[in-house]
């Protein structure tokens, strides 16, 4: 059974791809709805026109040469064929496309069937993938640098090997937790409260956390993780968390009256052993100082009642406040 012309026409019109037919002079003699949508032209504006109307201005001279080569030796060309091609929209914009060619003859005349696919979405995905790969490579290099620094200082001091190894692993785990949080947030950052909870969860009944919901930027998250890990570790070994009665009060806020706004975090220990000024700065102290040097300023007070720590930084270097929606 042969299909009627009406059925064939309907099939061509409803094709999920663009369809063009050109004659021996490269004039458009047929196009379907897809081509109208892709090009922005009405059908009556394209019929009888040279196919060059759909070629970007900068490529028309080259396209004319390619058409002449094709006309001398017409052959089927598969979709894509390894070339990046652009179609011209009516408004002058480029539309990335893939094109397949099929020479045919009808009633002794030469024609070319042109199949066109708009690959704009695929190109956007490919560009996004390249961007993500580049970003991932940057993050990996940054992580390697941080791990190298942690390793050198954890394993290169005067601590016994077993103790140094334990310190190194603890710091890596702190970094790992921060990276897991950032992954969960699609690398936009990490919630500050979540970082604090992760570092102090073993002493949840003795550590109070009071502050706004703040998302720490990606670049600052690993620094905050190490900073809070060192403060907690110090409190467990020598400070308030080393005795049953000791407590830690952590508060943070954004001073909106200052321009630009300033993020402030304080760590205050009470009920622990009498604090004395250390005689040398260990790696934990250097982590705290290096972190704040990149972000803002800080102050450590070795008060007899307990260690006090305060940091200040422009809020845009730290992150942003997560605004809560009012109840309906």
Q: pLDDT tens digits, residue range 6-29? A: 666 677 777 788 999 999 999 999
Residue with tokens 């070629």: 55
Higher pLDDT pick, 78 / 200? 200
- Among 51-60, 89-98, 148-157, the range scoring the smallest mean pLDDT is 148-157
pLDDT above 80 (res 198):
yes
- Alpha-carbon span 12 to 69, nearest angstrom: 28
Residue with tokens 């058409």: 67
**Model-level pTM?**
0.60
By three-state DSSP, how is residue 258 classified? Answer: coil
* CB atoms closer than 10 angstroms to residue 177: 17
For position 281, what pLDDT does the model report?
Answer: 63
- Alpha-carbon span 153 to 31, nearest angstrom: 70
For position 7, what pLDDT does the model report?
Answer: 63
DSSP 60-88: HHHHHHHHHHHHHS---B-SSTT--EEEE
Q: What percent of the chain shows pLDDT beyond 90?
A: 40
Higher pLDDT pick, 283 / 125? 125
Which residue ranges form the domains of the chain, and what is each CATH number?
A: 5-118 (3.30.450.20), 122-321 (3.30.565.10)
Average of pLDDT values for 85-96?
Answer: 93
Mean pLDDT over the full length of the chain: 84
pLDDT above 70 (res 261):
yes
pLDDT above 90 (res 183):
no
Phi and psi, residue 110, nearest 5°: -90, 135
DSSP 257-287: TSSS-EEEEEEEEESSSPP---SS--HHHHH
On whether the CB atoms of residues 310 and 264 are closer than 8 A, the answer is yes
- Among 200-209, 210-219, 250-259, the range scoring the smallest mean pLDDT is 250-259
Q: pLDDT tens digits, residue range 149-175? A: 777 767 766 667 777 788 788 888 888
Phi and psi, residue 220, nearest 5°: -95, -20
Closest CA to 272 of 300, 226, 309, 237: 237
**Range among 71-85, 186-200, 272-286, 312-326 with highest mean pLDDT value:** 186-200
Q: pLDDT tens digits, residue range 274-316? A: 888 776 666 667 777 776 777 788 889 999 899 999 999 999 8
On whether the CB atoms of residues 20 and 51 are closer than 8 A, the answer is yes
For position 240, what pLDDT does the model report?
Answer: 95
Cα separations in angstroms, 103 against 71, 72, 75, 205: 9, 12, 6, 79
């Amino acid at each position: 059974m042969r299909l009627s012309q009406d059925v064939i026409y309907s099939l061509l019109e409803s094709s999920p791809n663009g369809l063009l037919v050109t004659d021996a002079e490269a004039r458009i003699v047929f196009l379907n709805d897809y081509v109208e949508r892709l090009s922005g032209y009405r059908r009556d504006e394209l019929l009888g026109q040279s196919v060059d109307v759909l070629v970007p201005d900068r490529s028309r001279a080259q396209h004319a040469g390619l058409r002449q080569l094709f006309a001398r030796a017409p052959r089927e060309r598969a979709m894509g064929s390894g070339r990046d091609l652009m179609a011209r929209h009516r408004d002058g914009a480029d539309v990335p496309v893939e094109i397949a060619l099929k020479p045919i003859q009808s009633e002794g005349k030469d024609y070319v069937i042109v199949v066109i696919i708009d690959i704009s979405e695929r190109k956007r995905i490919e560009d996004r993938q390249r961007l993500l790969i580049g970003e991932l490579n940057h993050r990996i290099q940054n992580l390697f640098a941080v791990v190298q620094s942690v390793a050198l200082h954890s394993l290169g001091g005067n601590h016994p090997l077993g103790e140094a190894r334990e310190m190194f692993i603890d710091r890596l785990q702190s970094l790992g937790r921060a990276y897991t949080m950032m992954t969960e947030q699609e690398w936009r950052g990490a919630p500050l409260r979540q970082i604090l909870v992760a570092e102090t969860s073993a002493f949840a009944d003795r550590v109070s956390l009071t502050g706004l919901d703040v998302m720490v930027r990606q670049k600052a998250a690993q620094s905050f993780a190490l900073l809070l890990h060192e403060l907690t570790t110090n409190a467990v070994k020598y400070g308030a968390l080393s005795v049953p009665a000791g407590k830690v009060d952590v508060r943070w806020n954004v001073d909106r009256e200052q321009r630009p706004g300033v993020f402030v975090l304080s760590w205050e220990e009470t009920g622990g052993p009498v604090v004395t000024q250390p005689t040398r700065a260990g790696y934990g102290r250097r982590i705290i100082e290096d972190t704040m040097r990149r972000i803002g300023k800080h102050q450590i007070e070795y008060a007899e009642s307990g260690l006090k720590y305060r940091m200040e930084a422009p809020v845009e270097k730290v992150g942003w406040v997560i605004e809560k929606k009012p109840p309906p």
